[in-house]
Amino acid sequence: MARPQTVDEYIDGFTGPGRELLEQLRAMAHEAVPEASEAIKWGYPAWVHPSGTILFMVSGHARHASVAFTPSTREGFDAQLAGFATGKGTVKLPYGQPVPGDLLRRMIAFRVREHEDDGVLWM
């Protein structure tokens, strides 16, 4: 199967809880940063600042979705992420559990500010 060229194609590759969560994350991204454009970067949906810098990405997996931010964004929310598995810049969101919408919106806002105010680029 060919790699997806659009976010629609990427999400269409999922069913059930995976697709539902990816659609929720997409809607949240559009609400939080309406000026960002969608793109496929390294095979995954990404939201790109008008300057061309990636703000964050999402990916779907067998049992969870991940949201990838810069490490500095993820580190800025360590205390609030105590109940989640995290990586260098990622947060795992298990399927079938409530999406931490308020937390993700704050993380997105932080990421936009760190790029616009501090010039933090993508990894």
**Domains, the chain:** 7-118 (3.90.1150.200)
pLDDT at 1 over 70: no
Q: Residue 65 corresponds to which amino acid?
A: A
pTM, 2 dp? 0.94
Please state, in angstroms and rounded to a whole number, the distance separating the CA atoms of residues 67 and 60: 9
Q: Which two tokens stand for residue 78?
A: 């360590």
> To the nearest whole number, what is the mean pLDDT of the chain?
96
Backbone phi, psi, residue 79, to 5°: -60, -40
Contact in structure between 72 and 38 (CB atoms under 8 Å) = no
* Cβ atoms within 10 Å of 90's Cβ, excluding its own: 19
71 by DSSP, 3-state: which?
helix
> Average pLDDT in the 68-92 region?
96
Strands (E) located in the chain: 37-41, 44-48, 54-60, 64-68, 90-94
> Average pLDDT in the 115-120 region?
96
